[in-house]
Amino acid sequence: MKSFTLPQSIAQRLITWHAEQQRDLPWRAAPAGQRDAYAVWVSEIMAQQTRIVTVIDYFTRWMARFPTLESLAGADQQEVLKLWEGLGYYSRARNLHRAAQMVVDEYGGEIPSSRAELLKLPGIGAYTAGAILSLAFGQTEPILDGNVKRVLARLWDIDRSIDETATTNELWRLAGEIVQAAPEGGAGEVNEGLMELGALVCPPQNPRCLLCPLADLCQAALNGTQSERPVRTPRKRTPHYQVAAAVIWEDAPLQGRLLIAQRPQKGMLGGLWEFPGGKQEPEDADLPATLRREIQEEMAVEIAVGAPITTVQHAYTHFSITLHAFHARIVSGTPQAIGCDDWRWTTLDSLDAYPFPVTDQKIIATLRKMERG
């Protein structure tokens, strides 16, 4: 791809524009390049695949509870997951917690200031490392997230899919050229300017080219192809599954204790608690049959399935589900942790002490509404 723009012009304009237009966000208490590395790390992990307006409250609560890396490292994982509850992508929270412990144990509590060392920490990839190094340590390191990919693909009018490895490598090279052209110590401002430009002026749909400080340098804008960039590889159809969950009561429904199970640490939603159950398989005659089979496999007990409670629709990154919740009771056996990490009897009033996925939170809300009558 031929370079049509001057990295120096892009870098300087981004710095000027960002100084005037940047949003007032809680993790920007200091200038880019001089920030607390821990705060940068937390904000960047939270902001991945999440709207900034959502991140603000989570970041504020997080920093109030875990103001230092040491306080996070010493926390119980369940508390960490509970504070993350509702933000999604829970592996990010588990990795952040484990990485904090590694920094305390292996680096004396000092977050590494080298790319190689940062990349050894769980949950830190090339983008997060670049953000920490440029925004906290003032190093000339590029970043490449979704916003930056889109801006660069339009600036250079790239007509190949940005999902291809070769194109991604080219985008990293271009991002590197721009930060290298920044004034000394200005890489963080340039990187943040690129991200802000993608978020505020150059979104996926309807780019606001008249407000863009780089409009006259943008090849896509000049060629009239800005709405066609970036090119993406068509996504495969997202599969949909029918899932059943059992609210197993020790006595009658809405009376006494109920059974919850902890998901395995390794895997989706690891460490969170749930109402046990699973995906409907072709051999299952109906959803109650799914529940009886799943609970037998997961906890080695036989259950009787009662009345339906609620139905929840939810979309994950790579699939979507319809979750059907039912009242149930054990008719044979004692619960065992076979397909789960742990289980326990608890009360409806005590469920707030446990971190749950958003689907199970909706079941809990329905149960409480039913309890109130």
Active site residues: 44
Report the DSSP pairing between strands 302-315 and 257-262.
unpaired
- Decide if 236 contacts 318 (C-beta within 8 A): no
Task: Please tell me the distance from the alpha carbon of residue 65 to that of residue 72, in angstroms, as a whole number.
Answer: 8
Interior/surface letters 70-95, b for 16+ CB within 10 angstroms, e for the rest: eebbebebeebbbbbbebbbbebbbb
Query: Phi/psi at 41 (nearest 5 deg)?
Result: -60, -50
Q: H/E/C letters for each residue in 327-341?
A: EEEEEECCCCCCCCC
- Beta-ladder partners of 329: 249, 304
The DSSP annotation for 209-245 comes to GGG-TTGGG-HHHHHT-GGG-SB-PPPPPPPEEEEEE
Task: Please tell me the distance from the alpha carbon of residue 295 to that of residue 246, in angstroms, as a whole number.
Answer: 8
- 3-class secondary-structure state, position 118: helix
> Token match 């780019």: residue?
207
Total Cβ atoms within 10 A of residue 207? 23
Task: Of 271, 155, 159, 161, give the one whose Cα is nearest residue 202.
Answer: 155
